[in-house]
Amino acid sequence: MTGNKRLLPSKTKKDGDKRPKTQVQAEPYTQEQLEKTKREADEGMVFGGDDAHMVDFIFGVDDRPPTKPESYAAEMVDGQFAAALKGFNALLLTEPVESLPMVREWMEAAFNNPAVAKYAGTEPDLFARIIWAYGTLRANDDAHEARDALLEKYLSNLSPERATRVRVALIEEYWNEPHVFGLSLRKWIAEDRAVFDSAVRPGLSARMLNMLWNAGDSETMCALIAAGIDTSTPSYVDIEDAPDVEGFYNGYVEPIEHLLGLYLHLVHVMHPSGEDALTVDDVDDGIQEQLVWLGKKSPGTDEDEDDVLLHDGRQKVSRAAEVLKALSDRGNAKVLISYEAVLNSSLYKACEDTGGTIWGFEHVRMPFVYAAHNTAKGKHPVRMWEMWAVINATLQEKTYLKLLMDPDTMIEKLIDTGKAAIEKILAEEPLEYAGVREEGDKEDFVKAFEEQCRAYLLVLAGRAPAAKWATATIRGMYEPKYLGTLGCIAGLWWAHRENVPVYYCLDGLEDKEIINFKTNKTDSVNAFLANPKNSKHYVEVITLGEIREILLNWTDLKKVVKFCRKGEFLPEADVVKLIEDMKTQDDAAAERLSPLRQQVIDEANKSMVGGSGNLPDLNGPLFADLTDDMFHRVVAQLLLLNMATLSRDGGVLRDFLQTKGAEVLYEAGILPGWFGPAFRMMVDTEEPTSRKMAAHKIIKALGTTKTPSPLKDVLLIILKRYTAVA
């Protein structure tokens, strides 16, 4: 299979743009690409193929659907659109990208026939798909005005109710392709305020404003903001296959209020209050470098000329200033929308006085991060993200196990790798790391990075294992987010041990999201387990996972954590009320379902700490009477116990045996109930002879229990280490 090329519509072209009209992928298709493109074609996502091999793969050699609209005329008149949509998608795959006449035929058939157009309100997908295809063709030629006029003619044939539904379908499906939406189409969508009723369609406003932002249309954005469009609610899309647009973050379309957090400082610099806006020649090299970086963030850009990127970045800052003013004029933003307000906040003053770390949604906290890095006490990582080169490595099971077994060696290796990564990031990220990139500041930052990462890794190596690599996915968890949450939670306990302030921005979150976290998570996990073939894994919001850890451990963590909204700290009474409400809702949450027993066995036996005979016989009598839920929890904890036994630090096993999760091992009879407290007392005994005697007693008692091998054998080996007098 060689020589196949995939021809895609350009995502770089705007009105008047002279960039190339198409992008060509010249590499041969892999089987994975073929499968992915087949899925996309089924979902109506591919356009511009002219590839016989691909068409045969998707539809079958003898089963190509007709691509002429007249083939489906009778069905469409009867309101049957599934076959027509498949045929239209086949057209987009088989015809070259310039096939405007063919698309025109479909537009005539759908929009100009009242007997078909009447279904636009109930079957909007084909209508939206045709508009999208037409817009894609429009973006690849220069006859924009003529194309727009023709499109307006077709759209005028839809009644108001049907037009609303088509508008919704367009934004729901194609928000991430701003090049498709010409000015007339954007205005046609924006004029219908019913589309953006947040009570009916929460999150759709985020998609619309994102499309407008990436299309460079601040005028329409400001008009919508003045009309009351929701600017603070995100929209979840999908964690995988991230689109190439600004403002898409971790599976979510960011609310415009969040996206603009990245721009607050530059708006402050380039548009000083009460003064004329500055030009690029009025600012220093550092600001110019930031503007170039912003220019590169434009969707699909292939521009590499710094002067062009500088101009693009400056234009984006101007548009940001316009939108921020519209938000300010409306007056109900959920986050701070001026850099002056950031500098006057209690959070900034705390960073200035004592330093610390700043947590929360990335672009919500970004203005505070920027400000903190530019203080004398801010020349260090203030986000866990700034230590991520090291943290992320420990989310790999093999690396984590090596850290447990040989922390001294692994910590230095991880820090060396992390230092190289952070130095590269500092060179490439002029905006997010402004204030710590200059000579002197950079050296201070890298030194602090090394110190903080070393302290973090020491905490991680000394904590009871918590990552369920083998069982989380079959339980319905999306593993990267699940593990990312655990990595950040370890960061909270690093801050606790090192007495590092944690300033947690709650902006962008409603209290109900925190309170209902367990309920929502359980419902999502249960939906997956009830129907895994047609449900997606639960994608944890790391921010919510961090907040829950803080609230569940408030007695300990309140010594370092301060929650804030819009830069002002919450009274402790508000936090206590949040905890009470969360626990009340936790009690009302449904019971979580469990994966099938054989699934658990298969995954456990494939794991690094469960395979090669490292687990007891999971089909043996000790496990036979356990419910599926109990069995799953026991096996998950056995795997964590095996991890804990790898550490030479007895404190790791000691702490694991006292965790809430480990209780199931005592309940199931895997470990005797006395073992955890006895082991803890032995490890904590400082006098060598007394500790030796305690070890001998535990060895003798453990030998008479039903604790299965090889677990019992491993525990006995560990205990024998304590029989030698130090």
Place of tokens 């992915």: 36
Residues 393, 395, 400: CA angle, nearest 5 degrees: 80
What six digits make up the tokens of 654? 């000691």
Question: Terminal CA-to-CA distance of the chain, rounded, Å?
Answer: 67
Give the range among 5-19, 314-328, 513-527, 570-584 with minimum mean pLDDT.
5-19
**pLDDT tens-place string over residues 683-725:** 999 999 999 999 999 999 999 999 999 999 999 999 999 988 5
The rounded distance, in Å, linking the Cα atoms of 458 and 480 is 22
pLDDT at 95: 64
Cβ within 8 Å of residue 663, ≥6 positions away: none
CA distances from 338 to 68, 272, 288, 294 (A): 54, 11, 20, 19
> Is the pLDDT assigned to residue 5 strictly greater than 80?
no
Give the range among 24-28, 237-241, 392-396, 644-648 with minimum mean pLDDT.
24-28
Residues 488, 490, 495: CA angle, nearest 5 degrees: 95
CB under 8 A, 24+ apart: contacts of 160-165: 160/192, 161/121, 162/117, 162/118, 162/120, 162/121, 162/124, 163/120, 163/192, 164/121, 164/192, 164/194, 164/195, 165/120, 165/121, 165/122, 165/124
pLDDT at 25: 34
Q: Is the peptide bond before 710 cis (omega within 30 degrees of 0)?
A: yes
**Length of the chain (residues):** 726
> Is the pLDDT assigned to residue 576 strictly greater than 90?
yes
pLDDT band for position 533 (50/70/90)?
A: confident
Q: Give the max Cα distance, the chain.
A: 94
Give which of 81, 165, 171, 173 is closest to 126, Cα–Cα.
81
Q: Is 708 in contact with 675 (CB distance < 8 Å)?
A: no
CA distances from 422 to 140, 260, 262, 425 (A): 40, 25, 20, 5
pLDDT at 382: 97
Dihedral sign for Cα 39, 40, 41, 43, please: positive
What six digits make up the tokens of 159? 């009644």
Task: Determine the average pLDDT of the residues in 667-676.
Answer: 97
pLDDT at 243: 85
pLDDT at 90: 85
> Is the pLDDT assigned to residue 490 strictly greater than 60?
yes
Cβ within 8 Å of residue 657, ≥6 positions away: 644, 671, 675, 676, 679, 680
pLDDT band for position 421 (50/70/90)?
A: very high
pLDDT at 352: 97
Distance of CA 155 to the CA centre of its chain: 36
Task: Determine the average pLDDT of the residues in 308-317.
Answer: 95
Q: Report H helices in 240-361.
A: 256-259, 264-270, 285-296, 306-330, 339-343, 346-354
- Chain mean pLDDT for the chain: 89
> Is the pLDDT assigned to residue 18 strictly greater than 60?
no
Give the SS3 label for residue 378. coil
pLDDT over 90 percentage in the chain: 79
pLDDT band for position 97 (50/70/90)?
A: low
Burial class (CB in 10 A: 0-12, 13-18, 19+), 562: middle
**pLDDT tens-place string over residues 21-57:** 333 333 444 545 545 554 554 554 444 444 555 556 6
pLDDT at 485: 96
Task: Determine the average pLDDT of the residues in 515-535.
Answer: 94
What six digits make up the tokens of 128? 């939206």
Give the SS3 label for residue 570. coil
Give which of 644, 529, 651 is closest to 592, Cα–Cα.
529
Give which of 513, 495, 512 is closest to 504, Cα–Cα.
495
SS3 track for 222-248: HHHHHCCCCCCCCEECCCCCCCCCCCE
Q: Is 277 in contact with 271 (CB distance < 8 Å)?
A: yes
**pLDDT tens-place string over residues 354-396:** 999 999 999 999 999 999 999 999 999 999 999 999 999 999 9
Place of tokens 């007098």: 725
Q: Is 230 in contact with 163 (CB distance < 8 Å)?
A: no
Q: Is 462 in contact with 403 (CB distance < 8 Å)?
A: no
The rounded distance, in Å, linking the Cα atoms of 537 and 526 is 10
pLDDT at 7: 29
Task: Determine the average pLDDT of the residues in 184-201.
Answer: 92
Task: Determine the average pLDDT of the residues in 656-675.
Answer: 97
CA distances from 393 to 107, 221, 426 (A): 52, 41, 19
pLDDT at 357: 98
Place of tokens 């200033």: 321
What six digits make up the tokens of 244? 């190439």
Q: Is 154 in contact with 106 (CB distance < 8 Å)?
A: no
SS3 track for 171-187: HHHHCCCHHHCCHHHHH
CA distances from 12 to 146, 392, 467, 611 (A): 21, 33, 42, 50
What six digits make up the tokens of 48? 């511009």
CB under 8 A, 24+ apart: contacts of 286-289: 286/430, 286/434, 286/437, 286/438, 289/430
> Is the pLDDT assigned to residue 635 strictly greater than 80?
yes
Residues 230, 235, 238: CA angle, nearest 5 degrees: 170
Amino acid letter for position 88: F
Give the range among 98-107, 484-493, 579-588, 678-687 with minimum mean pLDDT.
98-107
